[in-house]
Chain A
Amino acid sequence: MFFSKLLYNVKSESKSSPDEVINISSLGKVYNTGKIKFEALKGVDLKVSRGEMVAITGPSGSGKSTLMNLIGCLDTPTSGTYHLRGEAVSALNKLELAEIRNRRVGFIFQSFNLLPQISVYENVEMPLLFGGVSRNKRKAKIVDLLTRVGLEERMEHKPTELSGGQMQRVAIARALAMDPDIVLADEPTGNLDTSSGGDIMNLFQELWEQGRTILVITHDPALAKRAPRRVEIKDGRITMDTKGQ
């Protein structure tokens, strides 16, 4: 046990700098539906360091959602390599991928994707349950997170009793529950009005300032502008990366 951990650390350090969270090289994804072959990603290279906030933009159908699914380990690439904190994700089986999604990645969706039949508290609790966190630690964590997003008064409410902006804040609390290495947000303000969208953007700003690594896919130029680094995808390739400039 001890040795394997040691070995793991050595390996990860030998491969990349300790600050590197995402290391993607010539990543490709082909959707094969039998009749039609669709190449969604045509060799993407991307490195993201700890504490970065990256906005991924691009027209619809450009492959940015595919990229997000691959980064979030919801899907597996057909070519290329992906290292998450030095670990080769492409080599993992389903069980290990589920573990990665639980511990390393926090998802935030355009349509919030909260479970409507359980309370706000239980929604945030779900990833902690999957991670096997003890009851007391869960409670402390959930109260802390919901306080941070300003919803400590709404813990026992059902998500359907909340406004869109509040639901998205619950989703953010849920995404942070397991202290993931990366937070992936897919059009987080897409379903919100301008003012609550602004609140969410401020929240992201705060999280970034606290040192979180955040990837945001967005059409929203206002949100994209607030990210220090912008990556643009077109036709399955990265066409612009402000870090490179």
Chain B
Amino acid sequence: MYKPRPGLILYLFFSSSRVQKKRAVLTVASIAWGTLSLLLLLSFGEGLGISTATAMRGIGNDIAVLWPGSTSLAWQGLPPGRPVRTVIEDIDLLKNRVQGLAGAAGEIQNYGAGIKYNKFESNATVKGVTWSFGELRNHIPAPGGRFIDPMDEQQRRRVAFLGNKIAEKIFGQEDPVGRTLYIEKIPYTVTGVMMPKVMMGNYNGLDEDQICIPITTFKAQFGINNLQMIIIKPDHPDRMAFVLEEMNKVLGAKYRFDPTDKRVFGTWDTVESTKGHRKIMSGLKIFLGIIGALTLIIGGVGVANIMYAVVKERTREIGIKMAMGARRTWVTGPVVLEGMMYTLLGGAVGLLMAMTLIIILGKLPTEGNEAVAMLGKPTLSMSIGIVSSAILGVIGLIAGYFPARRAASINPAETLRYE
């Protein structure tokens, strides 16, 4: 009939003789250092993951960008290689006919439109877009402005929404909203400026350097009706493939191509690339975690070392307790507890240091340095906390277990005889 007695083990742990302070401090410091390395590596990984994921979303969340091309399959007696030219009205067709679609937008670009404001003259990419483009492609207006709205599109208003970089280039410190800008000698009123954003991927240039105008106005001014880009967003990321298929059916019926022909539209599926990114990031985090854990193991060796010394020093003490009837677990328990205590104490110190450093690093300015901005802010998360505590706990347990085994193997008869 064995009764475990945690209270007794705790009492024995607290009433054991204490080790030299300096030695204990050094051991705790080595664990703290290991914990600090582990936490910093993991939180840098987390920060990098967050900032790159944000940058990936710069183009838009869970969207697909399609550009019309030519058919690759014969269909209903028609030969392959026919170009498919989608038009502005097709966006409304898609919105009405495709199931599971959260949104669709069209885009036509003019790469070198002349821009004039007062004495400033330049060329810029001007894109005619449908009003839903802003939300799908994350063109978020800075306070005080707005994106192109359905009325602008319907009434072919001459309004423009500027990328933040080009706005600064043209207007400098002035507020562009409400001012008149000439695009190819036609006056446009600026309705808004885009909030700055980081973009990891793009097509035909960065949004911050471009100007958006209503697609209907674009058609009226430049006489182009064919869409260059179609942007679609499914109501759920998992339904992307389904929505793309549905879209092919609808447009295939209109333009007479095989709905299974995957090469009519070039497709950039950001859901897929986000998945790839996530895999790379978790691989990176595991790698960083392993490096951190290895550093921490060195600290664990330090704890094991000091616990071996403790057991050696306490040989007599342990022998006395055994002579008085202490069981194996009453001898090993306090040793394991002490190893755990050093490890967890070091872990707590390391955590405090890591938190301080992370707060300081978070306050450092990163503006103007793209690389540092992309590296992101180191971030401590719950999962990092759990992983680190688990690693610390295991190391502490192992570091205490082996010395405790030695303690249990002490022969009291030999230790008690001599001074």
Residues of A within 8 A of B (CB): 65, 69, 72, 74-75, 94-95, 98-103, 107, 109, 111, 113-118, 122, 126-127, 129-132, 174, 178, 186
Contact = CB atoms under 8 A, between A and B. Distances in A.
Contact of B320 (A72, A113, A122): A113
B410 to A, nearest CB: 11
A107 B317 CA distance: 14
B221 interface: no
A118 B325 contact: no
A72 B2 contact: no
A176 to B, nearest CB: 12
A117 B5 CA distance: 22
Contacts of A127: 324-325
Given A65-B417, A111-B419, A126 B17 contact: no
Contacts of A126: 321, 324
B320 A99 contact: no
Contacts of A113: 316, 319-320, 323, 416
Contacts, number: 71
B253 interface: no
A152 to B, nearest CB: 22
Contact of A95 (B15, B319, B328): B328
A101 B11 CA distance: 20
Nearest to B418: A111
A174 B324 contact: yes
Nearest to A174: B324
B413 interface: yes
Contacts of A72: 323
Give the 6 A-B residue pairs with the shortest CB-CB distance, closest first: A102-B325, A74-B413, A69-B413, A117-B17, A101-B325, A127-B324
Given A75-B413, A113-B316, A117-B16, A98 B327 contact: yes
24 contacts: A74-B322, A74-B323, A75-B411, A94-B328, A98-B322, A98-B325, A98-B326, A98-B327, A100-B325, A101-B322, A102-B324, A103-B325, A107-B416, A111-B419, A113-B416, A117-B15, A126-B321, A127-B325, A129-B8, A129-B11, A130-B326, A132-B3, A132-B5, A174-B324
Contacts of B323: 72, 74, 101, 107, 113
